[in-house]
């Protein structure tokens, strides 16, 4: 039933519903619940042509084309639904998010995680720095190429519905390193790095942590935002170090004391989703009012007591 619902919803904007319904219902299969506080509640979708990635998009597409957000999971894990609530919230505000990884299991809420910790349950999909990665940064760029292709295919449900000229990359922890790794791609407009930064310690195992080096930062020519959980975040000093080294592009560093896990598991992604949407709406949709959260001497985020902010080349 979910397959029928999502395909029909995507087809209502086409000239011929009958022609659209004749398309394969396996092209886009809804694989999660629907959620999000935006005008366009969103779901997760698996795609038969691209099984290594997962899409998050509004169930009923808006009239405006959807800017693209690429996403790398924490631990570089192969489970895009671990960030389902957060990514559905982003998509519900008029975006299409493409996450590395399959849609395996919905992420636990913060309360569920706390209960599991008290019960002594081990984390599923745990990842140690230096371990071989379950997903790669290449998957994100391959996914973007796929979106560009289907956007021009008249027989595809997403034909003409994607703004492939407005693209952001984001990622958490190991996924944040994936975002840094691909941030030099000419198709990208901005990047948000959550709870992550280039690792200074030498690594002996081939992984994203080893591939991403400080010299990569010098080649990035798009605005960057580092969102961090404060001094208790294991990646705090790496992120600060990145910020201090970057002087050639607009860059934001904002911390809110929530630790390395961020607020991804809070309802609708919590404060992280809220800040990400301000940045994306400004960078990808040109909404100047949203930019006031980050620019000017009295930026709105600078005056928020929950956040500590550092900026460069953002009108500070």
pLDDT of residue 298: 87
For residues 177 and 198, give the distance between their C-alpha atoms in angstroms, rounded to a whole number. Answer: 7
Total tally of structural domains belonging to the chain: 1
Contact 100, 80 (CB under 8 A): yes
pLDDT of residue 3: 40
Percent of the chain with pLDDT over 90: 70
Q: Which of these ranges, 4-8, 116-120, 178-182, 296-300, has the smallest mean pLDDT?
A: 4-8
pLDDT of residue 297: 87
Residue 123 lies in a domain: no
Residue 260 lies in a domain: yes
pTM of the model: 0.86
Residue 202 lies in a domain: yes
Residue 124 lies in a domain: no
Q: Which of these ranges, 95-104, 154-163, 201-210, 291-300, has the smallest mean pLDDT?
A: 201-210
What's the pLDDT tens digit per position in 38-48?
999 999 999 88
Give residue 119's pLDDT band: very low, low, confident or very high (50, 70, 90).
low
What's the pLDDT tens digit per position in 65-96?
999 999 999 999 999 999 999 999 999 999 99
Residue 125 lies in a domain: no
The residue ranking higher by pLDDT, 51 or 67, is 67
What's the pLDDT tens digit per position in 234-263?
999 999 999 999 999 999 999 999 999 999
Average pLDDT over residues 120-137: 62
pLDDT of residue 29: 73
CATH of residue 191: 3.40.50.1820
78 burial type by CB count under 10 A (0-12 exposed, 13-18 middle, 19+ buried): middle
Residue 113 lies in a domain: yes
The strand order across the sheet containing 66-72 reads: 29-30, 42-46, 53-58, 96-100, 66-72, 162-172, 190-194, 224-228, 251-255, 308-312
Residue-number span of the structural domain to which 96 is assigned: 2-118+130-312
The phi-psi region of residue 297 (left if phi > 0; otherwise alpha if psi is between -120 and 50; otherwise beta) is alpha
> pLDDT at residue 17 above 50?
no
């Amino acid at each position: 039933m979910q397959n029928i619902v999502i395909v029909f919803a995507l087809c209502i904007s086409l000239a011929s519903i009958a022609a659209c319904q004749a398309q394969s219902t396996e092209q886009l299969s809804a694989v999660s619940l629907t959620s999000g506080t935006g005008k366009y509640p969103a779901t997760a979708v698996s795609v038969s042509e691209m099984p290594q990635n997962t899409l998050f998009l509004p169930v009923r597409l808006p009239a405006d084309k959807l800017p693209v957000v690429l996403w790398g999971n924490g631990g570089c894990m192969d489970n895009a639904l671990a960030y389902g609530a957060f990514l559905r919230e982003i998509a519900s505000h008029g975006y299409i998010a493409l996450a590395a990884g399959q849609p395996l299991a919905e992420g636990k809420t913060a309360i569920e995680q706390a209960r599991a910790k008290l019960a002594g349950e081990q984390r599923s999909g745990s990842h140690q720095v230096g371990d071989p990665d379950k997903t790669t940064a290449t998957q994100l760029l391959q996914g973007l190429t796929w979106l560009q292709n289907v956007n021009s295919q008249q027989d595809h449900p997403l034909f003409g519905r994607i703004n492939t000229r407005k693209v952001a990359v984001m990622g958490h922890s190991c996924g944040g390193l994936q975002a840094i790794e691909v941030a030099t791609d000419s198709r990208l407009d901005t990047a948000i790095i959550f709870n992550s930064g280039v690792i200074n310690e030498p690594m002996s195992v081939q992984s994203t942590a080893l591939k991403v080096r400080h010299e990569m930062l010098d080649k990035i020519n798009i605005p960057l935002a580092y969102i961090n959980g404060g001094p208790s975040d294991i990646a705090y000093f790496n992120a600060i170090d990145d910020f201090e080294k970057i002087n050639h592009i607009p860059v934001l560093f904002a911390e809110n004391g929530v630790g390395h896990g961020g607020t991804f598991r809070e309802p609708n992604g919590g404060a992280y989703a809220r800040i990400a949407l301000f940045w994306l709406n400004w960078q990808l949709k040109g909404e100047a009012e949203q930019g006031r959260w980050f620019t000017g001497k009295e930026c709105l985020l600078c005056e928020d007591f929950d956040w500590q902010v550092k900026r460069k080349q953002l009108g500070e």
